[in-house]
Amino acid sequence: MVRWRSGTVTAVRRRWAGAVELDVDLPDGARMRALAYPALVGEPEPGDRVLLNAGALLMGLGTGGYALVVALPDRLPPDPPQAGDSRHAGHLVKARYTPLQPILLGVDEEASPHHDRLAAADSVDGMPVVAADLHSALPAILAGVRADSPDARVAYVLTDGGALPAWFSRTLAGLSGHLVGTVSVGQAFGGDLEASTLHSGLLAARHVLGADLTIIAQGPGNLGTGTRWGFSGVAVGEAVNAVATLGGRPVGSLRISDADARPRHRGVSHHSLTAYGRVALAPAELVVPDGLPPGLAAEVAAALAPLADRHTIVTVPTDGLDAALRAAPVGLSTMGRGLDADHAYFLAAAAAGRYAAGLLS
For residue 215, pLDDT beyond 80: yes
For the ranges 140-144, 198-202, 233-237, 316-320, which has the lowest average pLDDT?
Answer: 233-237
Range of weakest confidence among 99-108, 119-128, 257-266, 282-291: 257-266
Q: 172 or 92, which is more confident?
A: 172
Look at residue 60 in the predicted model and tell me its pLDDT.
83
Predicted confidence (pLDDT) at residue 361 exceeds the cutoff of 90 = no
Strand partners, 154: 213
- Could you report the per-residue pLDDT of 1-40, keeping only the tens digit for each? 899 999 999 999 999 999 999 999 999 999 999 999 999 9
- Asked if the model's pLDDT at residue 265 lies above 80, the reply is no
315-319 contacts at long range (C-beta below 8 A, 24 or more positions apart): 315/287, 315/288, 315/289, 315/290, 316/287, 316/288, 316/289, 316/290, 316/351, 316/352, 316/354, 316/355, 317/290, 317/291, 317/354, 318/289, 318/290, 318/291, 318/347, 318/350, 318/351
- pLDDT score of 125 more than 70: yes
Checking if the pLDDT of 263 tops 70, the result is no
Over the stretch 295-333, which tens digit does the pLDDT of each residue have?
Answer: 999 999 999 999 999 999 999 999 999 999 999 999 999
Lowest mean pLDDT among 22-31, 86-95, 110-119, 139-148: 86-95
Percentage of residues in the chain having pLDDT higher than 90:
82
